[in-house]
Amino acid sequence: MTASDQASHPGQDSPPTCYRHPDRETWVSCVRCGRHACPDCLRQAAVGQQCVECVRGAGHGARQARTVFGGRPSRTAVVTWTILGLNVLLYLVELAHPSLAEDWWMIGYAGPPLQGVADGQWYRLLTSAFLPGTGSLGLLDIAFNMWALWIVGPGLEQLLGRVRFLAVYLLSAVGGSVLFYYLAAPNQPALGASGAIFGLFGAWFVVSRRLNLDSRGIVMLIAINLALSFIYRSTIAWQDHVGGLIVGALITAAYAYAPRKNRLAVQLSASVAVVAILAVAIVIRNGQLNP
């Protein structure tokens, strides 16, 4: 409640002034701390009015809203649209400078000159996921991948939160490259975001199961695309698809099924563990190809 205005209070020689503006007289006080404040320094609260500092302090002390899996909710899928825009932009750059494909594609070990992950170019594990192939097949590749990202990305990002969604996307991309590194010929190059997209497919399946949603649609989508990957295995890097699917499903399961108590610690530990496993796998494969 606020004190009513009046000419003077008994026993008080001069009227009180605002605690922030000493030149302004006021009889109105904050219902929380009791300090007198002018109208510019008061904010309407559930009961009465509070000064701006009390309102600010209450805001800092309030618990922030979280998604069902512990992420910070967002109104817009910023990460999804950023990834989509980056892929399209790099595709246009690749069309203007075709040599970028050779500089960034995923390749295990080839030469001369020597190049590949086994030669220390670990960045190819991730950069290859941001460029499609060239020609009509490359156009089809980026068209499908970006369509899939547009379909499943925003919903996943809102459920997982931006940071967890980005982690799933990037780790799935690297996971797909690592399995390709093991199963494909060392001198066979590959490009495309399919590993990351399949990781999102796996993530959507896990989330659907965790929330008791109908998962038949995503299962059908995964099955059809895996079948096409094996049918056209001469032109499609099926290893990348399978690796991304496995990593995406595993890391999302760790996020979705983490206990509410110590949830952040469990999710962070799972992320670090996946990174460590992928790194060890790369080192082992490097030793096999380049002892």
pLDDT tens per residue across span 73-103: 777 899 999 999 999 999 999 999 999 999 9
Domains and CATH numbers, the chain: 1-62 (3.30.40), 78-289 (1.20.1540.10)
122 backbone dihedrals φ, ψ, rounded to 5°: -65, -25
* pLDDT at residue 64, as a whole number: 62
pTM > 0.85: yes or no: no
Active site residue 241: yes
Given 29, 128, 177, 194, the catalytic residue: 194
* pLDDT at residue 191, as a whole number: 95
What is the DSSP annotation of 91-124?
Answer: HHHHHH-THHHHHHSB-SSBTTTTBSGGGT-TTH
What is the DSSP annotation of 60-73?
Answer: HHSPPP--TTSPPP
Evaluate whether 130 touches 85 at the Cβ level (below 8 Å).
no
Evaluate whether 37 touches 47 at the Cβ level (below 8 Å).
no
* pLDDT at residue 6, as a whole number: 41
Residue with tokens 């610690």: 265
Residue pLDDT, tens place only, 36-53: 888 888 887 766 688 888
* pLDDT at residue 5, as a whole number: 42
Those residues whose C-beta lies under 8 Å from the C-beta of residue 31, and which sit 6 or more positions away, are 1, 2, 45, 47, 48, 49, 50
Mean pLDDT, 10 residues at a time, the chain of 291 residues? 41 73 83 81 76 71 69 87 97 94 94 90 96 82 95 94 96 98 95 96 96 92 94 91 97 94 93 97 94 70
Evaluate whether 189 touches 235 at the Cβ level (below 8 Å).
no
Given 29, 36, 229, 241, the catalytic residue: 241
Evaluate whether 160 touches 186 at the Cβ level (below 8 Å).
no
The total of other beta-carbon atoms located within 10 Å of residue 99's CB is 8
Surface-to-core class of residue 226, CB atoms within 10 Å of its CB (0-12 exposed, 13-18 middle, 19+ buried):
middle
DSSP class of residue 129 equals G
**What are 42's two structure tokens?**
């008061």
On the CB side of 180, CA atoms within 13 Å amount to 35
- Cα–Cα distance, 273 to 47 (Å, whole number): 50
